[in-house]
Structure 1
Amino acid sequence: MEWKNYYLDVILVPLGLLLTFVYHAWLWYKVKTQPLATFIGVNATVRRQWISPILEDIDKKNILAVQTLRNMIMGSSLMATTSILLCAGLAAVLSSTYSIKKPVTDTVYGAHGEFTAALKFTITLTIFVFSFFLHTLSIRFMNQASLLMSAPLQPLSVLTESHLVEILDKGCVLNTIGNRIFYLALPLVLWTCGPLLVFLGFGVMVFVLYNLDFVCDKRSSNNNGKIKMNHEIV
């Protein structure tokens, strides 16, 4: 019976992770080939077009630029704070001998050993740490972009519009990856209640992300060939 419980954990949890990885690999391919069919590609295109008019009339639009970057920084700060708080909570559970590390009931499928419970919390804790790390890097690039945007652009200077676009793109990409890693950890929190809930959680998450990632207007896919991207979208 114990081997059967371990068998469910070994099969269902990696299968849910594989489902998520396959979806994001397909999403990355769509962003690279048909950027206007995804909200990530649309946001990247609009963001690059947004910087040029801001820099041309920075004296009148400086407040708009500062508020926009501040909102981005606040979003990354919120996710970083949430990740580190969850890390602290999971670390407290791991270091305690409280009964929360035991299964809720004996009827929950999956392995319930002490080593298995510690492994579940450790994997989830590690994922939240990576999410926190990526969001802090995103905040760094956002702060750098907000500082350089107000600096005067010189023809022979290293600071150019393309350099600002690259910095802002890095910050936004790190924020997106950090969010996706955070979403990856959410179904794993249900692992304490059994691997079946983890697999169902991954399935629901992929369904929700699909409806949020792709543009409903299919005409956008026909316009992808007409727009040439100046930089790669990661």
Structure 2
Amino acid sequence: MGFEKKDLDVVLVPGGLLIMLVYHLQLLYRYLHKPHTTCMGFENFNKRFWVQAIMQGEKGNIGTCLGVISSNRSAATFLASVSLTLCSLIGAWISNNNNFFFESNLVYGDTWTSTLSIKYAVLLICFLLAFSCFIQSTQHFVHANYLISMPSPSIPLKNVEVAVIRGSDFWSVGLRALYFALNLLLWFFGPIPMFVCSIFMVLFLYYLDSNTMPLIEHEFDGRQV
């Protein structure tokens, strides 16, 4: 029995997902152990000192700070809405039996109905994960907004830092879920586009995630940290 085109899905799709998974595992390792080599770690480093400067600065700067938090919250809310809308569209698409294009010979790969159902399911999971992460990001930014705007000066600085950093982390995870969803979306057009997209996606993300800039020294109360 020879190698058929439907067998490409068995080889290329797990291979593409494995490439993405291995890259993100090494990115997670760098983020936890060498955060200054990643853009997320570099940004979180600056966000911690941004929070410290706002909380220890003059009360007149609170308005600017709340504006920044509000912008992040609005962006997370927008992407959560987009993810939920795409989930609804996929649900409507699944209920529609007119999938002639994806089941035709124009798609070089497995076009069985069961395989098509798997494609819909994994794509839906990615969008639901993205929606959940963006909602969590919004929640933490709202919490940070409350803490920063609270008139009491006894709010622990660490609490505000944790709220801002967690909001940013959930934002990043939500974006990663959308990146995976883009790969899986191309799977509808065959395993070859999906595998090629995985390779280019990893190269593109490596360029975006790598940081070569040195950590900036900040001054508070006349001392450098």
2:5 corresponds in structure 1 to 5
1:145 aligned partner: 144
**CA offset at residue 189 of structure 1?**
0.6
Does the 8 A contact of 2:16 with 2:198 survive in 1?
yes
**1: CA distance, partners of 2:146 / 2:101:** 46
Q: CA deviation at 1:216?
A: 4.2
Q: Which of 202, 205, 212 in structure 1 is aligned with 2:208?
A: 212
The Cα offsets for residues 6-25 of structure 1, whole Å up to 9 and x where unpaired, read as 32111111111111111111
TM-score (norm: length of structure 2): 0.89
Change (3 A) 1:112 1:53: same
Question: Are 2:26 and 1:26 aligned?
Answer: yes
- Residue aligning to 1:39: 39
Q: CA deviation at 1:3?
A: 7.2
Pairwise CA distance, 1:99: 3.3
Q: Judging changes above 3 Å, is the alpha-carbon distance between structure 1 residues 2 and 125 closer, same or farther for their aligned structure 2 residues?
A: farther
Amino acid corresponding to residue 116 of structure 1 in structure 2: T
Alignment of 1:131 with 2:130, yes or no, is yes
What is the alpha-carbon distance in structure 2 between the residues aligned to residue 107 and residue 101 of structure 1? 7
Q: 2:180, 2:58 → 1: CA distance?
A: 39
Tell me if structure 1 keeps the 8 A contact 2:102–2:189.
no
Moved more, 53-62 or 124-133: 53-62
Q: Could you say which residue in structure 2 is the equivalent of 1:203? A: 199
3-state SS in 2 of match to 1:109: coil
Q: Quote the residue 2:80 is aligned against.
A: 80
Map 1:141-180 → 2, pairs under 5 A: 141-155=140-154, 159-180=155-176
Pair 1:101–1:88, CA change in 2 (3 A): farther
8 Å CA contact 2:12, 2:192 repeated in 1: yes
Unaligned segments of structure 1, at least 5 residues: 227-234
Deviates more, 1:43-52 or 1:2-11: 2-11
Cα 1:136–1:3 change in 2 (3 A) is farther
Moved >3 Å (runs of 4+): 99-103, 152-155
Q: Is the 8 A contact 1:101 1:117 kept in 2?
A: no
The percent identity for this pair of structures is 27
Can you give the 5+ residue segments of structure 2 that lack an aligned partner in the other structure?
218-225
Aligned-partner Cα distance in 2 for 1:142–1:2: 56
1:119 is matched with: 118
1:114 and 1:95 map into 2 onto residues whose CA distance is 13
Whether 1:106 aligns to 2:102 is no
SS of the residue aligned with 1:64?
helix
Quote how far apart the aligned CAs of 1:188 are.
0.6
Q: CA RMSD in A?
A: 2.3
What is the TM-score when the length of structure 1 is the normalising length?
0.86
The CA deviation at 1:57 is 2.5
Q: 1:123 to 1:3 in 2, by over 3 A?
A: farther
Distance 1:147 1:195, change over 3 A: same
CA separation in 2, counterparts of 1:115 and 1:56?
Answer: 59
Change in Cα spacing, 1:76 to 1:114, as seen in structure 2 (3 Å) is: same
Deviation at 1:108, TM superposition (A): 2.5
Distance 2:80 2:93 in 1: 20
1:21 partner letter: L
SS in 1 for 2:29: helix
Cα displacement string for residues 61-91 of structure 1 (whole angstroms, at most 9, x for unaligned residues): 1121111101111121121111111111111
Corresponding residue pairs, total: 218
